C-alpha cells in the first residue's frame, strides 16, 4: 500500500468526530438527553473548525443532521456531516459496538476521508484542548502508526487517538462482531489490535479532554501527567514484551519505574 508523504500538506490528515445525538436507551450511557448532547456536538464541531485547518467529518448514527446549526463560515469547505440509521442494534452491546459502526460507515462513505491517509478519531462531544499541539507533534512521521495513550494493561484511550485510516478500517471490520462493553469493549479492542499488528509504531500522546463522559454523565478527569505517563508505560511495556521488542520493552520498563517513583513521591 502506497501512502503519500503527509509532510507535504495537511489534507492527508482529517478529524473524524463520532456522534449519537439520540442514544435511545443505549447501555452504559448515563447522558441520554438529546438536546444537551446536540449542543455539545455543535460546540465541539465549531471548536475544531475555528481551531484547526484540517478537514472535519462528523458522522452521526441516529439520523440527526446538524450541519445547518453550525455557526462557522468554514463549514462549507472544511466540514462534512454524514448521518445514517445505525442505532437500532441490541443496546446491551453498549456504545462501543455503535462507535465501531460509525467509524466503519464514515470510512466507507465520506468524501473527505477518501483523500486522507491518517486521521484523528475523536468522540464528537468533547474538545481536545491540546489538539494543535498533537497536530504539530507530527505523529505521521511513521507510515504505519498509532498515536494513543495506554490506561494500564489491556486498555487504550479511545476518546482521542491518531492512526492510519486503513488500519482503523481493518480493525473495526475484524473486531466489531466481538464488541460488548461488559466483556470486550472498544478500548480493549484497540489494545488487542495494536498488540497483534506487526510493525505498527506506537507514539504516546496525552490528550487533554474538556467535556462530559457519556458513560458517567460527569466531566472527564485529566490525571496529573506523572500518573498518565505511569499508566501509559504500564501498557506499553506489556505490549513490547509480548511482541518481543526488547529494546522498546527495556526503555518502557525504565520509564515505568521512573514515573512510578514520581507518582509515589508527589501524588501519594
The pLDDT tens digits for 95-139 are: 999 999 999 999 999 999 999 999 999 999 999 999 999 999 989
Among 37-46, 62-71, 136-145, 209-218, name the one with the lowest average pLDDT.
136-145
CB burial of residue 147 (10 Å; 0-12, 13-18, 19+): buried
Comparing C-alpha atoms, which of 243, 259, 164 is closest to residue 206? 259
Q: Which secondary structure element, helix H or strand E, spans residue 235, and what is its range?
A: helix 225-242
Per-residue pLDDT for 1 more than 70? no
Q: In this predicted structure, what is the pLDDT of residue 3?
A: 38
Going by C-beta distance under 8 Å and a sequence separation of 6 or more, which residues neighbour residue 154?
188, 191, 192, 235, 238
Contact between 45 and 17 (Cβ < 8 Å): yes
Instruction: Give residue 6's pLDDT band: very low, low, confident or very high (50, 70, 90).
Output: very low
Q: How many residues does the chain have?
A: 268
In this structure, what C-alpha cell is assigned to residue 242? 509480548
Question: CA–CA distance from 67 to each of 37, 98, 132, 153, 183 (Å)?
Answer: 15, 21, 24, 39, 36
For residues 238-243, give the mean pLDDT.
96
What lies within 8 Å, CB to CB, of 56 at 6+ separation is 14, 15, 17, 45, 48, 49, 78, 79, 80, 112
Instruction: Say what the pLDDT of residue 136 is.
Output: 93
Rounded Cα distance, 18 and 82, in Å = 10
Amino acid at each position: 500500500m502506497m501512502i503519500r508523504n503527509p509532510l507535504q500538506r495537511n489534507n492527508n490528515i482529517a478529524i473524524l468526530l463520532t456522534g449519537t445525538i439520540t442514544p435511545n436507551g443505549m447501555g452504559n450511557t448515563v447522558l441520554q438527553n438529546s438536546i444537551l448532547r446536540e449542543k455539545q456536538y455543535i460546540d465541539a464541531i465549531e471548536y475544531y473548525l475555528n481551531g484547526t485547518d484540517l478537514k472535519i467529518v462528523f458522522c452521526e448514527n441516529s439520523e440527526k443532521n446538524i450541519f445547518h446549526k453550525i455557526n462557522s463560515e468554514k463549514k462549507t469547505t472544511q466540514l462534512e456531516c454524514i448521518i445514517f440509521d445505525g442505532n437500532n442494534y441490541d443496546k446491551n452491546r453498549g456504545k462501543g459496538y455503535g462507535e465501531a459502526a460509525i467509524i466503519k460507515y464514515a470510512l466507507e462513505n465520506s468524501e473527505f476521508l477518501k483523500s486522507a491517509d491518517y486521521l484523528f478519531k475523536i468522540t464528537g462531544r468533547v474538545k481536545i484542548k491540546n489538539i494543535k499541539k498533537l497536530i504539530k507533534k507530527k505523529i505521521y512521521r511513521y507510515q504505519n502508526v498509532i498515536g494513543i495513550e495506554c490506561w494500564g494493561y489491556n486498555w487504550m484511550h479511545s476518546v482521542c487517538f491518531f492512526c492510519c485510516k486503513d488500519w482503523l478500517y481493518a480493525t473495526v471490520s475484524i473486531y466489531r462482531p466481538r464488541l460488548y462493553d461488559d466483556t470486550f469493549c472498544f478500548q480493549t479492542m484497540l489494545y488487542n489490535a495494536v498488540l497483534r499488528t506487526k510493525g505498527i509504531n506506537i507514539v504516546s500522546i496525552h490528550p487533554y479532554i474538556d467535556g462530559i463522559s457519556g458513560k458517567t454523565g460527569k466531566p472527564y478527569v485529566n490525571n496529573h501527567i506523572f500518573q498518565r505517563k505511569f499508566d501509559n508505560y504500564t501498557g506499553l511495556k506489556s505490549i513490547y514484551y509480548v511482541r518481543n521488542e526488547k529494546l522498546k520493552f527495556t526503555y518502557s520498563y525504565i520509564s515505568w519505574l521512573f514515573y512510578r517513583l514520581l507518582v509515589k513521591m508527589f501524588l501519594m
